[in-house]
Amino acid sequence: MTLSAKKNIPLKPDWEIELERIATKHHVIVCWVAIVLNPMWFVADYFTIPEYWKTFFAVRIGVTSLVLLGVLLRKKLNISTEVLIFIPVMGISLQNAYMWSVMDVPMLQKHVFAYIALFIGAGMLVLWKPIWSISVVVISLIANIIFLKGLSPLSIQDILVNGGMLVATVAFICVVLIHSRYSLTKKEIISRLALVESNKLLEVKNEIIEEKNKDITDSINSAKRIQEAILPPKELKNKLFPDSFLLFQPRDIVSGDFYWFSEKNGKKLLAAVDSTGHGVPGAFMSMIGNGFLNQIVNEKGITTPSEILDQLRVLIISSLKQSGVDGENKDGMDISLLSFDDKEGTVEYAGANNPLWIIRNNEEKNGTSEKQFAISNVLTNTLPPNVIEEIKADKQPIGIYLSELKPFTNHTIKIHSGDSLYVFTDGFVDQMGGPAGKKFKSKTFKELLFSIHNLSMNEQEKAIRKTLDNWKKNFDQTDDILVIGIKG
Q: Is the pLDDT of residue 82 over 60?
A: yes
Q: What single string gives the DSSP state of each residue in 365-394? A: ETTEEHHHHHHHHHHHSSPPTTSSEEEPPB
Average of per-residue pLDDT across 424-446: 95
Q: What is the tens place of the pLDDT at every residue in 322-357?
A: 877 765 667 899 999 999 999 999 999 999 999 999
Give CA–CA dist 360/467, Å, rounded.
Answer: 23
Give the helix ranges, DSSP H, for 103-262.
105-125, 130-151, 156-159, 165-230, 234-240
Q: Is the pLDDT of residue 365 over 70?
A: no
Could you give the angle at which helices 130-151 and 165-230 cross, rounded to 10 degrees?
A: 170
Q: Is the pLDDT of residue 282 over 60?
A: yes
Average pLDDT of every residue of the chain? 88
Give CA–CA dist 412/415, Å, rounded.
Answer: 10
Burial label, 5 (beta-carbon count in 10 A; 0-12, 13-18, 19+)? exposed
C-alpha to C-alpha distances, 113 to 53, 158, 211, 405, nearest whole angstrom: 17, 17, 66, 101
Q: What's the pLDDT score for residue 108?
A: 83
Q: Is 485 helix (H, G, I), strand (E, B) or coil?
A: strand
Of 234 and 245, the structure prediction assigns the larger pLDDT to: 245
**CA 14 remoteness from chain centre:** 29
Per cent of the chain over pLDDT 90 is 58
Whether 359 and 420 have beta carbons less than 8 Å apart is answered as yes
Sorting pLDDT into bands at 50, 70 and 90, what band is 373? very low
Q: Is the pLDDT of residue 384 over 80?
A: no
Of 4 and 93, the structure prediction assigns the larger pLDDT to: 93
The domains found in the chain, sorted by start residue, are 11-199 (no CATH), 233-487 (3.60.40.10)
Average of per-residue pLDDT across 71-88: 93
Q: What single string gives the DSSP state of each residue in 444-466? A: HHHHHHHHHTTS-HHHHHHHHHH
**Which DSSP letter does residue 41 get?**
T
Q: What's the pLDDT score for residue 338?
A: 98
**Which DSSP letter does residue 353 get?**
B
Q: Is the pLDDT of residue 474 over 80?
A: yes
Q: Is 341 helix (H, G, I), strand (E, B) or coil?
A: strand
- Listed ranges 90-104, 395-409, 438-452; the one with the highest mean pLDDT: 438-452
Q: What is the tens place of the pLDDT at every residue in 184-203?
A: 999 999 999 999 999 999 99
The b-or-e profile of 99-124 (16+ CB within 10 A means b, else e) is bbbbbeeebbebbbebbbebbbbbbe
Average of per-residue pLDDT across 117-140: 86
